[in-house]
Structure 1
Amino acid sequence: MDECLASTLDTAVLERLEYLDRLVAKSDEPSRASLAKTEITRLADAWRALLKLHAPNEHGRCSECSGWLRPRRHPCTVWSTAHQHLIAAEGSLAAGVGRHAAVTGGPTAATLAAS
C-alpha cells in the first residue's frame, strides 16, 4: 500500500475515534443514546470483520499473521487484543499476552483460549 494512502487511512481512522470520544464526553444523554444505536453496531461489525480475517485456518494458524517462514498459532494478537478489550475485566490482563507473556509473566494465548 502506498505510504500516502496508508497515512491518510491512519489519520482518518484515528480522527474518527477521537471524534467519537469527544461526542461521548461532551454530549447530553439523548445524544449519547442515539450515538450508541448507530456506532455500537458499526464497531461490532468492524470487530467481526477483523476477527474473521484472523480466524484459524485448517492448520490452526492465523492466515493473516502467518508468513511463509513464520506460522502464527491461533489465537493471534488480534484475537488476544479483542479478548482483552471486549471480554476481560478492565485492567485484568498484564501488558504481555501471547508470545511475550513468558517474559512478562502475563497470561499466555492458551490461558486466554481456555477462559
Structure 2
Amino acid sequence: MNEVLASTLRKAVYERLDYLDRLVNEADVPSRASLADSEIARMTAAWRSLLADHEPDERGRCRACGGWRRRRPHPCSVWTTAHKNLIVVDTRSTPTTGRHTAASYLPTAG
C-alpha cells in the first residue's frame, strides 16, 4: 500500500472515530439511541473480524503478528487490547506503560 493511500485510509478511520465520539458526548438522547442502533453491530463485526485475523495457530502463536520467521505468542496485543476495552470495567486503574502492561489485566487462572 503506498504512503498516500495508507495516510488517506488512516485519516478517514480517525475522522470517523472522532465523529462517533462527538455524537456520543454531545448528541441528544434520541440521536445517541439511533447511533447505538446503527453502530453497535458494525463495531462488533469489526472487532470479530480483527480478532479472527489474530487467532492462534496450532502452535499457540498469533497468525497475524510477528515477522516471517517467528510469530508472536498468543494472546497478542490485539487480543489484550480487546480484553481491556471490552471486558475490563475500570480501565483507569489498568497500567498503560511498563514491561508487563499487556498481561497485567488478563484473567488469572484459579
Question: Structure 1 length normalisation: TM-score?
Answer: 0.84
In the alignment, what sits opposite 1:35? 35
In the alignment, what sits opposite 1:94? 95
The structure-2 alpha-carbon separation of the partners of 1:54 and 1:107, relative to structure 1 and needing over 3 Å to count, comes to closer
Distance 2:62 2:107 in 1: 14
The structure-2 alpha-carbon separation of the partners of 1:8 and 1:107, relative to structure 1 and needing over 3 Å to count, comes to closer
Distance 1:107 1:54 in 2: 15
Q: CA offsets, 1:8-64, max 9 Å, x none?
A: 000000000011111112211011001101111111110010000000011100010
SS at match of 1:72: strand
Distance 1:47 1:68 in 2: 25
Measured after TM superposition, the shift of residue 107 of structure 1 is 5.9
In the alignment, what sits opposite 1:69? 69
The AA in structure 1 aligned to 2:93 is S
Judge conservation of contact 1:93–1:107 (CA < 8 Å) in 2: no
SS at match of 2:59: coil
Following superposition, which runs of at least 4 residues in structure 1 exceed 3 angstroms of deviation?
none
In the alignment, structure 1 segments of 5+ residues that lack a partner are none
In the alignment, what sits opposite 1:7? 7
In the alignment, structure 2 segments of 5+ residues that lack a partner are none
